[in-house]
């Protein structure tokens, strides 16, 4: 039996109720305890329709759901305990735009798409009345019902320009509100019933006076269509969500609507739903990507201790410090007790945060104009360009315990000073601008200024350091030109390892991440241009290996870390903001307006505990506390913001615990690497790979270690997976070189065949939108694709390809948009031998050969073949193709060969009415006795194919629209399958 365990897709209704949040995804509503972020229950409300609206009435203990033509009135408690309330589903003849409980709660109003209101008794669901507004029955795009003590107002958003407000009791029009252009996407009254907010295709928000019908205010801000609006905080604020992926907060004051905040909440496209909890502190949004995001609107503690100081105001309260015009902050260090800073005039000042006092520690001309500040838990160091190093050690309250100063004689001048911590020690790495000078590393006891060792390292030519890390006895330096250097501190004369990256900017951070069970050491590295890397170092062999390359979507990258939830966080600058971004979940978690990346800034402490951002502004300093939100970031992780075009499980049985690794490739140009918990169905995303610049066509694991992704611009990438660390990592191993500069030339599909007993070297067939067919051989040792066969079928687009090895020959099978199967025998064209269905090294000469004329061409479908699966029978030298087409049909075709090049082809079976829409994916299951198919009619079917006949065994509806792909993997005990179905969302099934 097919059973759905989890589904992530467009969330169209979200609703706070007490400490819970009710969120719809497809026909389900999931209940969350939102402050904990825990899921309480998932309840199926409708058979097929998506839930578009939720209304709670505490008084009568009832909850109203509507969506499409379905409506349900359910006991509130049932939603917390039942797995479904399907028996309560009722249907109405028209699409329901909105529903509300009446003022006295003994009626329910349902507004339908033709501006009709049905009045229903919630007890026995009898229809008491149906009301219309004479002459105004055109189809609506939106609508809402405002229930007031003595009046019910119907607010109808039409398809063109106008909003109609009518009175349900008098059945008279109250207003026709003109001013918008295009379809009205949302129209909603305020709590008091005095105001009306609306938005349309023109992308503006308008506020209307419901007492006069006058337009009060028009506000702009969203960069795309706005889908939902809601008043809160006694009509003083409005919240909006949009196609532009943002949620915005607006203030309404003195008849003017002004934007207050912008929150980026979803990926790529469309935020559909929004709600604000009673006190106005938290909002929840539901996106097209299925993400349920919590937003802290107001916080009792956020920005609580933020401070801004200017040197001028400090001088008014700080004894011994005279501010001079033009004096600026040159460096600073944050402690638990407060701050120590140095100015451009050599004034060293201390701030004690508990008493809010400023002290002057020193005023020293020698540290004027140039100084670098570094520090640890209780010591601050200042170094000037003459290599003079001054340190202050403090006690917990900020009193100076020790003041030291010495001159570093190993270098002639100082240009940079970096800091690193490791294993109870603190390191200062001091660089001279003189190339002949060494790189000096000072080792101190942690949290003190007791120098324990000094290392004089030979500085590589052209190295300009930018960041540092120490691990064991190794110093890692990140530098300009995106280079990394690894020095051995136990053997300072040993030459360093140079780490080369593809990037060309400057390395902004290097950090130790973890050591694997086998002793491999993992580091992360960020580059200012937005790329980041993970690499391992083999210190004995002086070698390194990059195991992950990726990039952030926009902005400058300054650093990264894993947080306590094992999410990978990156930080840096995006336009005018400093921000921290959760790369695992693809959402921003902190942002602060900032003057520009060139200003001096530093991040202290650790995230979730005591993180502080300090940066120089004007002639002063700003200190911002970075606190974790009081609420979970998300109630549910989302998936791609646009259609998922392909998905593939890692085909190895020993995946991490009960979690299966899989990839998804989307129209949004990214590939996600995620796991699914095979028991609960919970998805977890690790990486969103951004190497493709066009929408994905296919992505497939070709064995345990490699997967391949392809799309437009002739992009085809080979990725290598590393499983040895606590998180999976993937590296873009190789790309196919495009043959031309045509952005539309798509690689539609590929198939791979490994050499016998080999998991590293393979041949790969690729098919293109211009009818090209190519065959490549891949050598792991050389990390190189070589073109073996090149040619064209005709001019039509080819959707599918398979390499089919038979007893002693290799067949190439393609399926284009013309509904045919075309077969070539390519045995003599490849530099390998084929024996018993296996590929062997033959030592043949390489070189590109032309694709000859096909040996078979056979029409099976009336339109393009969307997907196929192939089963081969080596013994009888034949293979069968199970195919699904754009013509709604599924077919079984047999190809057999009697050693002749031309095969005998026979259509064994065909169901021309297999689905009511395009059959989009076909998978062989149960030792090729069954077929699992998906189709755009949103049905998953299992077919019995034992006697080469097609018999439907099971059909299940999926709420995933644009159902386009699926993959299966057998359960470890052989008793069933795990199934992923992708389209507009992703769902996980078991059979």
Interaction with other proteins in 763-792: which residues (CB under 8 A)?
A: 768-771
Q: How far apart are CA 692 and CA 66, in angstroms?
A: 39
Q: Interface with other proteins by CB under 8 A: which range of 126-134, 299-307, 874-882, 899-907?
A: 126-134
Angle at the Cα of 638 (from 634 to 640), degrees rounded to 5? 150
124 scored as a contact of other proteins (CB under 8 A):
yes
Q: Which residues, numbered 843-872, are part of the site for other proteins (CB under 8 A)? A: 862-864, 866
How many CA atoms are closer than 13 Å to the CA of 630, on its beta-carbon side?
11
937 scored as a contact of other proteins (CB under 8 A):
yes
Q: How many residues bind other proteins (CB under 8 A)?
A: 110
Q: Interface with other proteins by CB under 8 A: which range of 149-157, 464-472, 652-660, 882-890?
A: 882-890
Of 34, 66, 252, 272, the residue at the interface with other proteins (CB under 8 A) is 272
Instruction: Give whichever of 217 and 374 is closer to other proteins, judged by the CB atom.
Output: 217
Shortest distance in whole angstroms from residue 517 CB to other proteins: 43
Q: Which residues, numbered 65-94, are part of the site for other proteins (CB under 8 A)? A: 67-68, 70-71, 86-87, 89-94
Q: Which residues, numbered 888-927, are part of the site for other proteins (CB under 8 A)? A: 888-889, 912-913, 915-918
693 scored as a contact of other proteins (CB under 8 A):
no
Shortest distance in whole angstroms from residue 963 CB to other proteins: 9
Q: How far apart are CA 193 and CA 611, in angstroms?
A: 44
Provide DSSP, 858-922: EE--SS-EEEEEEEEETTTTEEEEEEEETTS-EEEEEEE-SSSSSPEEEEEEEETTS-SS-EEEE
- Nearest Cα to Cα of residue 247 among 294, 188, 198: 294
Name residues whose C-beta falls within 8 Å of residue 64's C-beta, 6 or more positions apart in sequence: 53, 54, 55, 56, 57, 71, 72, 73, 99, 100, 101, 108, 122
Q: DSSP state, 783?
A: T
Shortest distance in whole angstroms from residue 799 CB to other proteins: 8
Do residues 265 and 274 lie in contact, with contact meaning Cβ atoms separated by under 8 Å? Answer: no
593 scored as a contact of other proteins (CB under 8 A):
yes
Q: What are phi and psi of 367, to 5 degrees?
A: -100, 10
Q: Which residues, numbered 305-364, are part of the site for other proteins (CB under 8 A)? A: none
Of 62, 269, 459, 880, the residue at the interface with other proteins (CB under 8 A) is 269
Shortest distance in whole angstroms from residue 16 CB to other proteins: 22
Instruction: Give whichever of 505 and 592 is closer to other proteins, judged by the CB atom.
Output: 592
Q: Which residues, numbered 28-47, are part of the site for other proteins (CB under 8 A)? A: 46-47
Q: Which residues, numbered 940-959, are part of the site for other proteins (CB under 8 A)? A: 957
Instruction: Give whichever of 132 and 363 is closer to other proteins, judged by the CB atom.
Output: 132
Q: Which residues, numbered 361-400, are part of the site for other proteins (CB under 8 A)? A: none
Of 400, 597, 732, 745, the residue at the interface with other proteins (CB under 8 A) is 745
Shortest distance in whole angstroms from residue 838 CB to other proteins: 35
Of 11, 25, 113, 670, the residue at the interface with other proteins (CB under 8 A) is 113
Q: Which residues, numbered 142-181, are part of the site for other proteins (CB under 8 A)? A: 159-160, 180-181
Q: How far apart are CA 733 and CA 735, in angstroms?
A: 7
Shortest distance in whole angstroms from residue 529 CB to other proteins: 20
Q: Which residues, numbered 176-235, are part of the site for other proteins (CB under 8 A)? A: 180-183, 185, 200-204, 220-223, 225, 227
668 scored as a contact of other proteins (CB under 8 A):
no
Shortest distance in whole angstroms from residue 917 CB to other proteins: 4
Q: How far apart are CA 551 and CA 535, in angstroms?
A: 15
Shortest distance in whole angstroms from residue 918 CB to other proteins: 6
Do residues 807 and 877 lie in contact, with contact meaning Cβ atoms separated by under 8 Å? Answer: yes
Instruction: Give whichever of 250 and 533 is closer to other proteins, judged by the CB atom.
Output: 250
Shortest distance in whole angstroms from residue 595 CB to other proteins: 14
Q: How far apart are CA 693 and CA 738, in angstroms?
A: 13
Do residues 685 and 637 lie in contact, with contact meaning Cβ atoms separated by under 8 Å? Answer: yes
- Nearest Cα to Cα of residue 915 among 963, 871, 872: 963
Shortest distance in whole angstroms from residue 24 CB to other proteins: 12
Q: Interface with other proteins by CB under 8 A: which range of 264-272, 450-458, 495-503, 601-609?
A: 264-272
Instruction: Give whichever of 526 and 959 is closer to other proteins, judged by the CB atom.
Output: 959
Q: How far apart are CA 62 and CA 748, in angstroms?
A: 51
How many CA atoms are closer than 13 Å to the CA of 846, on its beta-carbon side?
11
- Nearest Cα to Cα of residue 800 among 812, 815, 811, 790: 815
Of 873, 901, 944, 962, the residue at the interface with other proteins (CB under 8 A) is 962
Q: DSSP state, 84?
A: B
Q: Which residues, numbered 503-522, are part of the site for other proteins (CB under 8 A)? A: none
270 scored as a contact of other proteins (CB under 8 A):
yes
Tokens 């451009």 correspond to 344
Q: Which string of x and - marks every residue 537-576 that binds other proteins (by CB under 8 A)?
A: -------------------------------------xxx
Shortest distance in whole angstroms from residue 728 CB to other proteins: 31
- The secondary structure of 154-211, three-state, reads EEEEECCCCEEEEECCCCEEEEEECCCCCCEEEEEECCCCCEEEEEECCCEEEEEECC
116 scored as a contact of other proteins (CB under 8 A):
yes
Q: How far apart are CA 580 and CA 568, in angstroms?
A: 10
Instruction: Give whichever of 783 and 859 is closer to other proteins, judged by the CB atom.
Output: 859
Report the 10 Å Cβ neighbour count for 449. 23
Across-strand partners of 237? 232, 251
Instruction: Give whichever of 272 and 367 is closer to other proteins, judged by the CB atom.
Output: 272
Is residue 26 left, alpha or beta, with left meaning phi > 0 and alpha meaning psi from -120 to 50? left
24 scored as a contact of other proteins (CB under 8 A):
no
Extract the tokens encoding 156. Answer: 């109808």
Of 4, 30, 243, 583, the residue at the interface with other proteins (CB under 8 A) is 243
Of 169, 192, 743, 844, the residue at the interface with other proteins (CB under 8 A) is 743
Shortest distance in whole angstroms from residue 113 CB to other proteins: 7
Of 345, 746, 774, 880, the residue at the interface with other proteins (CB under 8 A) is 746
Shortest distance in whole angstroms from residue 949 CB to other proteins: 19
Instruction: Give whichever of 398 and 964 is closer to other proteins, judged by the CB atom.
Output: 964
Do residues 415 and 399 lie in contact, with contact meaning Cβ atoms separated by under 8 Å? Answer: no
Q: Which residues, numbered 781-840, are part of the site for other proteins (CB under 8 A)? A: 795-797, 799, 817-819
Name residues whose C-beta falls within 8 Å of residue 104's C-beta, 6 or more positions apart in sequence: none
Of 5, 6, 8, 12, the residue at the interface with other proteins (CB under 8 A) is 12
Extract the tokens encoding 21. Answer: 């949040």
Instruction: Give whichever of 209 and 962 is closer to other proteins, judged by the CB atom.
Output: 962
Q: How far apart are CA 987 and CA 938, in angstroms?
A: 12
Shortest distance in whole angstroms from residue 868 CB to other proteins: 15
Instruction: Give whichever of 101 and 686 is closer to other proteins, judged by the CB atom.
Output: 101
- Nearest Cα to Cα of residue 769 among 670, 698, 831: 698
């Amino acid at each position: 039996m097919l059973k759905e365990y989890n589904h992530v897709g467009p969330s169209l209704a979200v609703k706070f109720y007490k400490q819970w949040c009710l969120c719809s995804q497809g026909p389900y509503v999931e209940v969350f305890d939102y402050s904990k972020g825990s899921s309480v229950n998932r309840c199926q409300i409708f058979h097929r329709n998506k839930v578009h609206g939720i209304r709670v009435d505490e008084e009568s203990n009832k909850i109203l759901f509507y969506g499409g033509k379905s409506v349900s009135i359910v006991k509130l408690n049932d939603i917390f305990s039942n797995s479904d309330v399907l028996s309560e589903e009722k249907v109405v003849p028209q699409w329901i735009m909105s529903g509300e409980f009446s003022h006295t709660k003994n009626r329910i109003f349902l507004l339908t798409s033709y501006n009709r209101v049905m009045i229903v008794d919630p007890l026995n669901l009898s229809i008491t009345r149906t009301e219309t507004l004479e002459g105004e029955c055109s189809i609506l795009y939106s609508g809402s019902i405002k229930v007031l003590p003595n009046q019910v107002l119907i607010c109808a958003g039409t398809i063109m320009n106008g909003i109609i407000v009518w009175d349900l009791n008098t059945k008279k029009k109250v207003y026709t509100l003109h001013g918008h252009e295009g379809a009205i996407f949302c129209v909603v009254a305020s709590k008091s019933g005095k105001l009306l907010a609306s938005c349309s295709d023109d992308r503006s928000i308008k506020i209307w006076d419901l007492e006069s019908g006058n337009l009060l205010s028009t506000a702009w801000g969203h960069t795309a269509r706005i889908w939902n609006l809601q008043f809160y905080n006694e009509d003083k604020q409005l919240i909006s969500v949009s196609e532009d992926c943002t949620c915005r907060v607006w203030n309404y004051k003195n008849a003017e609507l002004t934007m207050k905040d912008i929150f980026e909440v979803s990926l790529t496209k469309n935020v559909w739903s929004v709600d604000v909890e009673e006190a106005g502190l938290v909002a929840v949004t539901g996106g097209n990507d299925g993400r349920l995001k919590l937003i802290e609107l107001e916080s009792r503690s956020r920005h609580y201790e933020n401070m801004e100081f200017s040197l001028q105001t400090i001088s008014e309260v700080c004894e011994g410090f005279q501010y001079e015009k033009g004096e600026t902050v040159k460096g600073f260090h944050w402690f638990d007790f407060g701050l120590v800073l140095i100015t451009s005039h050599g004034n060293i000042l201390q701030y004690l945060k508990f008493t809010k006092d400023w002290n002057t520690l020193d005023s020293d001309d020698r540290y004027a104009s140039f100084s670098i500040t570094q520090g640890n838990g209780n010591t601050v160091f200042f170094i000037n360009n003459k290599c003079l190093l001054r340190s202050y050690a403090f006690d917990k309250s900020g009193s100076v315990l020790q003041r030291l100063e010495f001159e570093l004689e190993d270098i002639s001048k100082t240009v940079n000073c970096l800091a690193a911590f490791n294993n109870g020690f603190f390191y200062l790495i001091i660089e001279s601008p003189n190339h002949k000078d060494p790189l000096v590393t000072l080792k101190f006891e942690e949290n003190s200024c007791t120098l324990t060792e000094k290392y004089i390292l030979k500085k590589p030519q052209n190295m300009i350091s930018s960041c540092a890390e120490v691990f064991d006895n190794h110093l890692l330096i990140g530098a300009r030109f995106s280079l990394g250097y690894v020095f051995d501190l136990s053997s300072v004369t040993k030459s360093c390892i140079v780490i080369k990256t593809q990037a060309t900017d400057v390395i902004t951070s290097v950090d130790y991440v973890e050591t694997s069970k086998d002793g491999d050491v993992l580091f992360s590295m960020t580059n200012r241009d937005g790329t980041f890397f993970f690499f391992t170092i083999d210190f004995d062999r002086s070698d390194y290996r990059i195991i992950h390359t990726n990039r952030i979507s926009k902005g400058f990258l300054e650093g990264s870390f894993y947080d306590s939830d094992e999410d990978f966080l990156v930080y840096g600058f995006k336009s005018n903001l400093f921000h921290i971004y959760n790369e695992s979940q693809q959402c921003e978690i902190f942002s602060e307006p900032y003057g520009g990346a060139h200003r001096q800034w530093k991040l202290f402490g650790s995230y979730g505990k005591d993180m502080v951002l300090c940066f120089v502004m004007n002639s002063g300093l700003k200190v911002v506390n970075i606190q974790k939100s009081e609420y979970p970031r998300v109630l549910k992780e989302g998936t791609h913001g646009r259609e998922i075009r392909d998905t593939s499980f890692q085909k190895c049985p020993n995946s991490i615990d009960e979690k299966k690794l899989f990839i998804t490739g989307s129209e949004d140009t990214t590939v996600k690497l995620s796991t699914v918990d095979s028991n609960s169905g919970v998805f977890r995303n690790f990486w969103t790979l951004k190497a493709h610049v066009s929408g994905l066509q296919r992505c497939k694991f070709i064995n345990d270690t490699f997967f391949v992704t392809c799309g437009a611009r002739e992009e085809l990438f080979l990725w290598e997976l590393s499983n040895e660390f606590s998180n999976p990592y993937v590296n873009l191993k190789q790309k196919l070189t495009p043959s031309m500069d045509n952005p539309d030339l798509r690689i539609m599909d590929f198939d791979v065949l490994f050499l016998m007993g080999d998991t590293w070297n393979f041949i790969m067939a690729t098919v293109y939108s211009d009818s090209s067919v190519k065959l490549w051989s891949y050598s792991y040792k050389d990390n190189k694709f070589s073109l073996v066969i090149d040619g064209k079928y005709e001019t039509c687009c080819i959707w599918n390809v398979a390499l089919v090895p038979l007893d002693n020959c290799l067949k190439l099978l393609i399926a284009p948009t013309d509904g045919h199967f075309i077969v070539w025998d390519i045995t003599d064209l490849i530099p390998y031998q084929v024996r018993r269905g296996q590929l062997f090294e033959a030592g043949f000469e390489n070189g590109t050969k032309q694709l000859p004329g096909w040996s078979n061409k056979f029409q099976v479908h009336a339109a393009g073949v969307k997907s196929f699966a192939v089963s081969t029978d080596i013994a009888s030298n034949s293979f069968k193709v199970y195919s699904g087409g754009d013509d709604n049909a599924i077919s079984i075709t047999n190809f057999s060969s009697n050693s002749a090049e031309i095969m005998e082809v026979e259509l064994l079976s065909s169901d021309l009415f297999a689905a009511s829409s395009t059959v989009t994916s076909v998978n062989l299951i149960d030792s090729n006795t069954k077929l699992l198919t998906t189709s755009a009619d949103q049905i998953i079917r299992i077919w019995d194919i034992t006697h080469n006949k097609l018999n439907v065994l099971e059909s299940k509806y999926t709420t995933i629209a644009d159902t386009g792909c699926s993959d299966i993997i057998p359960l470890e005990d052989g008793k069933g399958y795990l199934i992923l179905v992708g389209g507009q969302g992703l769902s996980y099934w078991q059979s």
